[in-house]
Amino acid sequence: MNKKHINIKEIYVPKKHIEGFSPKKVLELTEILMEGGELESIKIREGKGRYVLIEGVHRLEAFKAVGEKVIFAHIIGAQLF
């Protein structure tokens, strides 16, 4: 698993992550960031000229809410089932 700084605009969020989205959770995480706290890195994979979110939609949205343009992410390989 590689770690890398990624431009938030390059991250695609699949619909399945939006279904369980909680604005309350984003607000809680935003408050942590504003108080100088840190959040676990999101997980993404590379795909078709962009990055695809695997895990961390609430963290991603919290970083957007505080005005971050770049986020630290774990890049994982494709998972074969």
The stretch 48-75 carries a mean pLDDT of 94
Res 80 pLDDT > 50: no
Task: With CA atoms as reference, report the closest residue to 20 among 53, 66, 50, 48.
Answer: 53
pLDDT tens digits for range 64-76:
999 999 999 999 9
Domain extent at residue 35:
2-75
Q: What total number of domains does the chain contain?
A: 1
Write the burial class of residue 76 (CB in 10 Å: 0-12 exposed, 13-18 middle, 19+ buried): middle
Task: Tell me if 80 is assigned to some domain.
Answer: no
Q: Which CATH number covers residue 29? A: 3.90.1530.10
Q: Where does the chain have alpha helices with state H?
A: 15-18, 23-34, 57-65
Residue 81 forms part of a structural domain? no
Amino acid letter at 75? I
3-class secondary-structure state, position 8: helix
Q: Is residue 43 part of a domain?
A: yes
* 45 falls within a domain: yes
Is residue 69 situated within a structural domain? yes
